[in-house]
Structure 1
């Protein structure tokens, strides 16, 4: 059987006008298998300059060269998919993002931005369009792109792995939502999310928002694009769920053992896990709040995780296999993700991390209530060493009416909750709170950096740190009895706590934590 040009399944399709929908889908499938390339198409590449003068190519750092290479490879992929007539229709462009958007504009009726949020997103991530003849800077860029494209043109093509979503959860948007980091999320009916597959939640009534907030907490207005970087969100009545592959589910089970170290003393299963935390065990506590500085950690090896977390424990006078723990924070994990971006995450267990619980929404447990953001999402803003500091505020608070434990993200968005039915040993309150850093590494592999990757004794803005550390009482007041706060760490030559004290009425209780890592066992 002869194939019409553009529909040959053995190579990239050719665009000849009327097949644009088919061509776009096939090209997207190929590009999305390579996160760095798809990301450069989404966010664009701006040629490096210093004081409005182009930077010479011999001064490009490794990250810049990698971005240029990704831009070149993406450009080559698109160019090789055009017929001569289609290529003639494309005018000059500054980067592959402009090239991609030009193709879409030529074949799809353009629509106006939906609102000011989308305009702000475009101004932040889109490169300026050229309105004149190319200057020397653009010519140098184009020449280098051509050279890099020549290097890439003979590389074998990646195959797109199609994933099938199984189970009872209806996917509202089968194409999913793709973030600027290449993450793929599905829009799932809120009332048929994974949590409701749990037998203990068969008769659970969905709570759409917390009954109250701690005194002094006022939620800021939410802008969807400021979270993910898409131009739109899932429909009302649905939630965002990170599309998981089978390997993600397998690896998430390994996280159970990684969190046991600081929860269960001298546990042999927790080998490879290390921590530096502060804790207070003089409850009862009805919630916890803190702001933590966020960082990228690009040097993690395969199978490693580095996290910064708030933990709440149920009754601590129970056997290890009855211990209830809920937690939320940010982490960088090569176990679950392929980038060094910090991610917001949640975790729970009702048996001391033995058989129950999981991270994010990878099993029945945490109940999500928003179509804007969700566990597993990347955090777009992070701190720089001895420079600008960015914070993630996390509140975990027991709802005084329902008894569910709500998680509020960044003083803006109640994300969802840990349902009380799954936590029989913390039905009324929490006995203990922990905050700080935790790392995991496979045996015989040097342990990863924690926090900012710098020792805690370097101080704030260099070492990672928490500020405004507080607990919540039964009357929804935030405070902290600093007399009962203790520091705890297992290998203080590598990871430690420092500068833990009540600073002032604004920052309240603060502490630095972390380390460079490098411990091998």
Structure 2
């Protein structure tokens, strides 16, 4: 009798647990369906790219950004009030040329009054939720696993640089002034990503605020199969107001970035890419704050793509206090053995230099003089020098400025 009662109690408990799990699953599916409906706005026209992406030409006034509570009564700024002048560099590379197209544009274009938005798939939201830190991979509540100090221009002065959890970076950094813009030409490659949901980026960051709770606007290229469902190299934008803790997302997967261009799709594949011994291609990125509106504008190869509204931010509403150029790998297997095999940059070490290693040319900052210039103070930083290296290389000609090289294969004989 007692055995039968125990079995009955066990069955009841199993039913309760099962109903709880089913309830959570249904709630999760319901939330994903709700978000998909909000993000995938009705299209005036659709374009099917040869890589399988569906590009929706959406009414510019109905884009996802305006679902953000802070943007309910936002008035679109169609063009920046000014575009800062760029300093003419010395030693410009004649055999590099910019990426000028996205893959989807081979199949059509969006009409005036609309913007191209890449359709987001259900599996992509389930895997990453559009975030840099997938919730199901958070090992702890810490944002930084360790904090270290770096020196600018080999001076005695140093700054605290946090190492974010599950990330490995190799960057050129400048810090300490009020920056209202940054630019650079990012060499385009297609590095290997070992497994989901790992990703690799080459990008520019502008940051402000506390080191472990910073605000940032970011843009560049990424290989992120979990986010985009393939291993192509894609143009991306990102932002956060709390150091990736609870806010921020890629492209249009949360509400914030206001797009104005009919020519560029956030998250769209870029081509062609660079190859060893072959032509080197670059992705020119320019991010600057409009002093009239405090909106942070993004320019991709002379195309004004759109902006992050100043109303999204607190510190960045005034200026950035640091700028970073370089690469980042996300994996739970960084700073561990065995290390991830996800590559950064081209997959070659920075010391291989031009034609092999990924580079960012002509790194520039903008201050209140409203003219771009090479930063006065810089530092090179790499979290794992045996896995992903970085070097600010200057050739023999004293008039040439340094070019920043970075990257690596991940796991190797030097990075077990």
- Report the TM range for the smaller structure's normalisation: 0.7 to 0.9
Question: Which residue does 2:108 correspond to in 1?
Answer: 232
Could you say which structure has the larger radius of gyration?
Answer: 1
Q: Is the 8 A contact 1:279 1:488 kept in 2?
A: yes
Higher strand share: 2
**Structure 1 residues 275 and 172, CA, compared in 2 at 3 Å: closer, same or farther?**
same
Q: Give CA-to-partner distance per residue, 1:350-382, whole Å, 9 cap, x none.
A: 111111111111010111111221210111111
Pair 1:474 & 2:345 matched:
no
Residue 508 to residue 415, structure 1, CA distance change in 2 (3 Å): farther
Quote the Cα distance in structure 2 between the aligned partners of 1:306 and 1:420.
28
What's the C-alpha RMSD, in Å, of the aligned pairs?
3.3
User: Which shows bigger deviation, 365-374 or 442-451?
Assistant: 442-451
Partners in 1 of 2:100 and 2:205 — Cα distance? 27
Aligned residue number for residue 255 of structure 1:
132
* Residue number among 295, 302, 315 corresponding to 1:404 in the alignment: 295
Residues 1:335 and 2:226 are matched in the alignment: yes
Q: Which runs of 5+ in 1 are unaligned?
A: 1-161
Aligned mates of 2:398, 2:237 — CA distance in 1 = 29
The separation in 2 between residues aligned to 1:332 and 1:506, in whole angstroms, is 35
Specify which of 260, 266, 269 is matched with residue 146 of structure 2. Answer: 266
Map of 2:38 onto structure 1: 167
Q: 8 Å contact 2:68–2:256 — kept in the other structure?
A: yes
Does residue 213 in structure 1 map to residue 83 in structure 2? yes
Q: Could you say if the C-alpha distance between residues 256 and 476 of structure 1 is closer, same or farther in structure 2, counting changes exceeding 3 Å?
A: farther
Task: Give SS of 1:351's match.
Answer: coil
Q: Does residue 462 of the first structure (1) align with residue 356 of the second (2)? A: yes
Report whether the alignment pairs 1:370 with 2:261.
yes
Give how far 1:225 is off.
Answer: 6.8
Q: Which has the higher helix share?
A: 1
Secondary structure at 1:239 match in 2: strand
**CA 471–507 in structure 1, closer or farther in 2 if over 3 Å, else same:** farther
Mapping 1:242-321, distance limit 5 Å? 242-250=118-126, 251-256=128-133, 264=144, 266=146, 270-298=164-192, 300-315=194-209, 318=210, 320-321=212-213
Shift of 1:460: 1.4
CA offsets per residue over residues 108-147 of structure 1, 9 Å max, x none?
xxxxxxxxxxxxxxxxxxxxxxxxxxxxxxxxxxxxxxxx
Contact between 1:177 and 1:230, CA under 8 Å: does it hold in 2? no
1:434 equivalent in alignment to 2:324: yes
SS in 2 for 1:320: coil
2:306 is matched with which residue: 410, 416, 423?
416
Gaps of 5+ in 2: 1-32, 89-97, 148-161
- Which structure would you say has the larger RCO, counting Cα contacts within 8 Å and 6 or more residues apart? 2
2:194, 2:340 within 8 Å by CA — same for their partners in 1?
A: no
- Equivalent residue runs for 1:107-186 within 5 Å: 166-167=37-38, 170-173=41-44, 176-186=46-56
Kindly indicate whether residue 391 of structure 2 is the aligned counterpart of residue 514 of structure 1. Answer: no
* SS in structure 1 of the partner of residue 124 of structure 2: helix
In the alignment, structure 1 residue 357 sits paired with structure 2 residue 248: yes
Q: Which residue of 2 aligns with 1:44?
A: none
Secondary structure at 2:106's aligned position in 1?
coil
Using the TM superposition, give the Cα deviation of residue 270 of structure 1 relative to its aligned residue in structure 2, in angstroms: 4.4
In structure 2, the partner of 1:80 is none
Q: Count matched residues.
A: 350
8 Å Cα contact 2:39-2:252 kept in structure 1:
no
Distance 1:229 1:180, change over 3 A: farther
The answer to whether the Cα contact below 8 Å between 1:311 and 1:433 also exists between their aligned partners in 2 is: yes
